[in-house]
Amino acid sequence: MNNTKTLDTSQNLIKYSYREVVAHLFFAASIIASTVLCFFVSRIRVEKAFILLLGSVFVLFNVKKSQKIILLQKITLLYLIGVLFNQLSLQFTQISSGRTNITVPLSLIILVPLAVGFALKKINRPNLVDTDDLLAIWVVLFAVIILHIVILFLLLKRFYGYGFERNFAVLGGLFLYFLVFLFSWLQLENACMRQFMTLVLAILFTALIIAKM
């Protein structure tokens, strides 16, 4: 009740929408930056970019009634955003401050504005995701991978050349993609934001197709 009352005041409403806009701006800036970076420093070869373009065309359709199709669009867009992060993961840049040079992963730099956008959005929206099932599925996914890693560690620890330290990198990657999901999912609820992001990605995929010709 208290929350409703406070939101009703016009000042708070302005604050609310202001935060919402800034959150979207951070999100958009992050995606645009990663799209531009991806065009120049792609790590994994995109064999058939037109498939990704088809995916973005699917998201561009403005569906209002069917929640199921909207959910599928969100998952498709999440995949496309995930691809950007995959291309930038394991790529590093150096930040120098005075005498010290710090090597930072590119994906982490892109993740920061995404996290800020999420934090601003989170203040307005108490729920992390629209359904608890989604978080449960992530838990199951982590459980599947971690159980396999543990069992394989027990079986392979004496195996010649087995490097268990690789598993930490895998788990790190998994956690990165979970954060990408967490920070992006709420933002993708907004239809305009979805379409704008998809348009940016569609331009990238078109550019990739043209560059390959």
Which residues of the shown chain bind another protein in the complex (CB under 8 A)? 44-52, 55, 58, 68, 71-72, 75-76, 78-80, 82-83, 85-86, 89-90, 133, 136-138, 140-141, 144-145, 148-149, 152, 155-156, 159-163, 166-167, 169-170, 173-174, 176-177
CB 194 to another protein: min, Å: 15
The nearest distance, CB 17 to another protein, in angstroms, is: 32
- Cβ nearer to another protein, comparing 23 with 59: 59
Q: How many CB atoms lie within 10 A of CB 159?
A: 9
Q: Give 73 or 187: the residue with its C-beta nearer to another protein.
A: 73
Q: Which is nearer to another protein, 5 or 68 (CB)?
A: 68
We find the least distance from the C-beta atom of residue 72 to another protein, in angstroms, to be 6
Give the whole-angstrom CA distance, residue 33 versus residue 12. 31
83: left (phi over 0), alpha (psi -120 to 50) or beta: alpha
CA-CA distance, 99 to 96, in Å (whole number)? 7
For residue 202, give Cα distances in angstroms to 32, 77, 166, 187: 12, 11, 34, 18
